[in-house]
């Protein structure tokens, strides 16, 4: 597997665009993205489990019931959530995209992101969607930019891989910076591939991989109303279709995992106000649920996040989070290390503190990427979670987010 350029346009047959259509007041910001496949695609998606859901999710669930799609249209600047006419707007966006692309409205995936509960109309899309269709090309960067809200940069990735000797490609783009604590998916993620795979196998791979990638990310503990991760596979690579478990399915799953893991790290590191990416790895757990639960508990701890912002090796906060995670863990066996490009420092052994240099620990924790390594010594299961530090700027951003 190799990382390549191209984002969502890396796979054969996919085009993309990003334009300003008027949802955002600022004309300098793109606010409408489109992805289009030359051929109809097998498609799969996962969504937020928040009971309050954006209207596009209901429309997407209906549109993807048959396991196929051919295009994505997504706006930023308004979440289309808690609006009386929300479904009407989402369906209208699908119809406008279908008309512009000459496809069926049911083959369109629609998404929105931005402020919740703000009035929305179809007017910006009546000119914006045809403009986005006219701009389709290898414009993956424009599309990735158009879905951003408080993100500080675009998030893209692409890889090449082989299925039974045939080269396939997969690319993805994501947005996510605040309101990140997924329980099924995370914010908005769109993945394209030219691999041929049956819809049920695609859904199986996505539902599996999301558990160890996007569901292991947390920025602030808030689960969004619009979380969606969708994958489109158009089969244009020409491989024998993946229709059952086996070597090709595992190779496809590995590529999907690499794309989703990379985007997970990008989202975590670009958390609102963040200065550091935090990666917590738990090893030696009695079972996978324990490993995942403990890792995410540490990543979610406001006290751990604040300590990492201050480069304070307050390892007791790490142990505390493991202790309240709700799993049966022998705390007398726990080891904790902090590591980064500046080195490694052991801070806890067998559930008790050990001598270490505060100066050396501070050097380790001043880096932009911090690894919190926890060994439970109780089994053979591992898990990794990603998050970020908690800074003053997070409060500044969210104190006046709406206004």
The pLDDT tens digits of the residues spanning 18-54 come to 999 999 888 789 999 999 999 999 999 999 989 999 9
Mean pLDDT of the region 216-245 = 93
Pick the CATH number of 2-269 from 3.20.20.70, 3.60.70.12, 3.40.50.1100, 3.40.50.20: 3.60.70.12
* Mean pLDDT across 101-123: 96
DSSP H helices in 135-271: 140-146, 199-212, 247-269
Average pLDDT score, the chain: 95
What is the residue extent of each domain of the chain?
2-269, 277-399
Q: Is 74 helix (H, G, I), strand (E, B) or coil?
A: strand
Nearest to 299 by CA among 275, 325, 273: 325
Which pairs from 103-108 meet CB under 8 Å and 24+ separation? 103/40, 103/70, 103/71, 104/70, 105/63, 106/62, 106/63, 106/66, 107/40, 107/63, 107/68, 107/69, 107/70, 107/71, 108/63, 108/69, 108/70, 108/71, 108/72, 108/73
Tell me: domain 277-399, CATH 3.50.50.60, correct?
no
Give 267-326 as a DSSP string: HHHT-TT---EEEEEEEEESSHHHHHHHHHHHHH-HHHHHHHHTT---HHHHHHHHHTSS
Is 391 noted as a catalytic residue in this protein?
A: no
Q: How confident is the model at residue 222 (pLDDT cuts 50, 70, 90)?
A: confident
Element containing residue 62 per DSSP (H, E):
helix 55-63
**Which one of 186, 192, 228, 281 is the catalytic residue?**
186
Find, among 35, 41, 44, the residue nearest to 17 by Cα: 35
Q: What is the per-residue burial (b if ≥16 Cβ within 10 Å, else e) of 386-397?
A: bbbbbbeebeee
Angle formed by the axes of helices 288-300 and 302-309, nearest 10°: 60
What local confidence, expressed as pLDDT, does residue 403 receive? 67
For position 28, what pLDDT does the model report? Answer: 83
- What pTM does this model have? 0.94
């Amino acid at each position: 597997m190799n990382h390549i350029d191209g984002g969502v346009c890396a796979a054969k047959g996919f085009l993309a665009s990003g334009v300003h259509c008027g949802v955002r007041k600022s004309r300098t910001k793109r606010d409408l993205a489109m992805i289009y496949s030359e051929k109809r695609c097998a498609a799969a998606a996962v969504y937020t489990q928040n009971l309050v859901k954006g209207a596009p999710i209901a429309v997407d669930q209906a549109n993807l019931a048959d396991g196929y799609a051919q295009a994505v249209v997504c706006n930023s600047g308004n979440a289309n959530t808690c609006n009386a006419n929300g479904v009407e707007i989402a369906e209208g966006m699908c119809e406008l995209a279908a008309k512009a692309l000459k496809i069926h409205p049911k083959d369109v995936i629609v998404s929105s992101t931005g402020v919740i509960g703000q009035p929305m109309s179809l007017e910006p899309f009546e000119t914006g969607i045809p403009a986005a269709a006219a701009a389709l090309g290898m414009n993956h960067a424009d599309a990735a930019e158009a879905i951003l809200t408080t993100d500080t940069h675009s998030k893209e990735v692409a890889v090449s891989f082989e299925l039974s000797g045939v080269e396939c490609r997969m690319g993805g783009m994501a947005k996510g910076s605040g309101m990140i604590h997924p329980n099924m998916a995370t914010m908005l993620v769109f993945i394209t591939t030219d691999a041929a795979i049956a819809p049920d196998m695609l859904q199986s791979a996505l539902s599996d991989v999301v558990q160890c990638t996007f569901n292991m990310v947390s920025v602030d503990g808030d689960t969004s109303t619009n979380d969606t991760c969708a994958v489109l596979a158009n089969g244009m690579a020409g491989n024998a279709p993946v229709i059952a478990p086996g070597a090709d399915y595992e190779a496809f799953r590995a590529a999907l995992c690499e794309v989703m893991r990379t985007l997970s790290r990008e989202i975590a590191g670009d958390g609102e106000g963040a200065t550091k990416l935090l990666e917590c790895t738990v090893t030696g757990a009695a079972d996978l649920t324990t490993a995942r639960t403990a890792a995410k508990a540490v990543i979610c701890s406001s006290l751990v996040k604040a300590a990492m912002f201050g480069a304070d090796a307050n390892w007791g906060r790490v142990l505390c989070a493991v202790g309240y995670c709700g799993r049966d863990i022998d705390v007398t066996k726990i080891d904790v290390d902090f590591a980064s490009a500046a080195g490694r420092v052991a801070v806890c052994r067998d559930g008790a503190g050990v001598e270490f240099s505060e100066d050396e620990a501070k050097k380790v924790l001043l880096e932009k990427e911090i690894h919190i390594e926890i060994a439970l010594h109780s089994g053979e299961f591992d898990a990794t979670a990603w998050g970020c530090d908690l800074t003053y700027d997070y409060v500044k951003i969210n104190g006046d987010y709406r206004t």
